[in-house]
């Protein structure tokens, strides 16, 4: 993928995470297909990545980042945050207001005015750094809910730029969104971007409905699956671009010996029982407790499955310093203990629970050892675990049980067994159906899903979104119709 223009990416986190231990700065590469795709694009196009390096403000981090980036075709620009800024902007507004609200958990929100003020302050700092590291010829591509006001701060100064935004999490309908005390400035801030991308058609529809509901002065037109929104003398194009994975990094048929060894080790530990696998970050949106309830019901209703099926629940630590997440971890571990105490036998543990991160090698091994992957969030923007599992199954075996509330359901319902994670009885039935699928039916379903993922991998996603940004901003670029005020 090669672009003719320089690219500036802005996200809450940089593609590397910095730490200062005993006076020494160290870095850990960030994981995920998005980082791999974006860094690949930046190497080709040249540009800059703006973000928080993951540690408290330390000027030594800036110097080390510049040294690391010197061998690349792009630079890394850190936003160094104080502990108070992390608490207000990130832990507070982003994760105690926007995260729960946009996932439909409004009762978990803490609408603190100080959080809002800190969020605005940090977004303004991102905007200043973006201005200092980009020109009017660049495309600035901002990622996710942490930075919804960046374009507003840039445009306020009257400096025209091509600004694009991708929203990775769900966007709520008006009856949820209107709970937000700052709903109007958030919408007006988003509408200062030239292009906005969403994961699903439902997210786009919700966004448009919120604009209609909260901004009566906005004018909307619809064509070719996209909306154009005109408000306060600015035009924004909004569309759907489902994010994906680096397919080839999971799909290779030439299994590395370490992966093969781990697959054999995992299967040996199961002593012949079928494996239901779930991999989640610790979060209340992931539906871990609901999944455990459905699994318990499965074992209760189908005693013939006892000692013949095992659930491996891998929970990746997240936000461990937040009391609500600490309490969630305790509730999950208590639920696991109850199931194992009720149904366990000397040679069989119904739920094998791991609270830790997993390496890429181990992750692929678990995917390839599993008979069923249960990916059942209560609400999720996309959920790439579902796509990773399918991509890993070059043998076209295994079944995917997928929540209808995951963005991935739009693309993968062609082969997945779709479930409502709140419906424990039906959930248990679907798990049973998945365990009983014939090899031929598994092959048909998995083949269809893998073809879909391969055709629309993360590089294709980035290419489509960036191409639409080029096309849109070429028409409304500096000196063109936007500068002259001609919007229709």
**346 tagged catalytic:** no
Two tokens, residue 405: 């509330």
Q: Using alpha carbons, select from 86, 118, 114, 100 the residue that is nearest to residue 13.
A: 86
DSSP class per residue in 356-394: S---HHHHHHHHHH-SEEEE--SSBS--HHHHHHHHH-T
| Rounded Cα–Cα distance for residues 387 and 367 (Å) | 11
Among 138, 168, 203, 429, the one annotated catalytic: 168
Strands (E), 302-449: 309-316, 351-355, 372-375, 399-403, 417-419
Q: Are strands 16-21 and 24-29 parallel, antiparallel or unpaired?
A: antiparallel
- Contact by Cβ (8 Å): 453, 387: yes
How is residue 294 annotated by DSSP? H
| Rounded Cα–Cα distance for residues 303 and 110 (Å) | 44
Q: Where are the alpha helices (H) located in 95-243, listed in sequence order?
A: 99-102, 113-133, 150-156, 174-177, 183-190, 201-214
**380 tagged catalytic:** yes
Among 162, 246, 380, 429, the one annotated catalytic: 380
Torsion, Cα of 21, 38, 136, 185 (10° steps): -80
| Rounded Cα–Cα distance for residues 327 and 339 (Å) | 19
Two tokens, residue 69: 């980036």
Two tokens, residue 159: 């400096």
Active site (catalytic) residues: 168, 380
């Amino acid at each position: 993928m090669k672009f003719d223009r320089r690219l500036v990416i802005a996200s809450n986190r940089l593609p590397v995470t910095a730490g200062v231990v005993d006076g020494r700065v160290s870095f850990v590469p960030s994981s995920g297909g998005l980082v791999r795709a974006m860094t690949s694009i930046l190497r080709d196009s040249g540009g800059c990545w703006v973000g928080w390096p993951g540690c408290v403000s330390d000027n030594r981090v800036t110097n080390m980042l510049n040294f690391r980036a010197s061998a690349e075709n792009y630079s890394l620009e850190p936003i160094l945050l104080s502990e108070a800024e992390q608490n207000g902007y990130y832990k507070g507004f982003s994760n105690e207001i926007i995260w729960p609200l946009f996932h439909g958990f409004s009762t978990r929100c803490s609408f603190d005015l100080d959080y809002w003020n800190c969020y605005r302050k940090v977004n303004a700092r991102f905007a200043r750094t973006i201005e200092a590291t980009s020109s009017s010829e660049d495309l600035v591509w901002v990622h996710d809910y942490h930075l919804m006001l960046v374009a507003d701060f840039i445009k306020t100064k009257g400096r025209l730029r091509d600004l694009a935004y991708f929203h990775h999490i769900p966007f709520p309908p008006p009856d949820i969104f209107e709970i937000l005390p700052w709903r109007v400035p958030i919408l007006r801030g988003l509408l200062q971007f030239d292009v906005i991308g969403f994961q699903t058609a439902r997210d786009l529809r919700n966004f448009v409905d919120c604009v209609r509901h909260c901004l009566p002065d906005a004018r909307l037109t619809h064509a070719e699956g996209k909306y154009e929104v005109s408000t306060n003398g600015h035009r924004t194009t909004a569309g759907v671009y489902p994010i994906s994975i680096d397919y080839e990094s999971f799909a290779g048929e030439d299994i590395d010996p370490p992966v093969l060894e781990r697959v054999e080790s995992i299967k040996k530990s199961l002593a012949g029982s079928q494996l239901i696998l779930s991999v989640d970050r610790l979060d209340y949106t992931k539906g871990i407790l609901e999944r455990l309830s459905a699994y318990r019901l499965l074992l209760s209703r189908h005693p013939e499955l006892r000692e013949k099926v095992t659930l491996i629940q891998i929970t990746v630590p997240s936000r461990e310093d937040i009391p609500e997440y600490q309490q969630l971890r305790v509730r999950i571990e208590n639920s696991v203990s109850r199931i194992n105490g009720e149904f366990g036998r000397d040679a069989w543990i119904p739920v094998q629970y791991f609270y830790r991160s997993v390496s890429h090698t181990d992750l692929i091994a678990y995917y390839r050892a599993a008979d069923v992957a249960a990916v059942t969030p209560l609400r999720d923007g996309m959920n790439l675990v579902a796509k990773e599992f399918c991509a890993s199954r070059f043998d076209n075996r295994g079944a995917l049980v997928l929540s209808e509330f995951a963005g991935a359901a739009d693309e993968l319902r062609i082969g997945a067994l779709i479930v409502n994670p709140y419906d424990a009885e039906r959930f248990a039935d679907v798990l049973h159906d998945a365990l009983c699928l014939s090899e031929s039916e598994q092959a048909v379903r998995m083949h269809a899903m893998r073809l879909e993922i391969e055709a629309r991998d993360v590089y294709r996603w980035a290419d489509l979104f960036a191409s639409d940004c080029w096309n849109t901003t070429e028409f409304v670029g500096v000196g063109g119709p936007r500068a002259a005020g001609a919007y229709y």
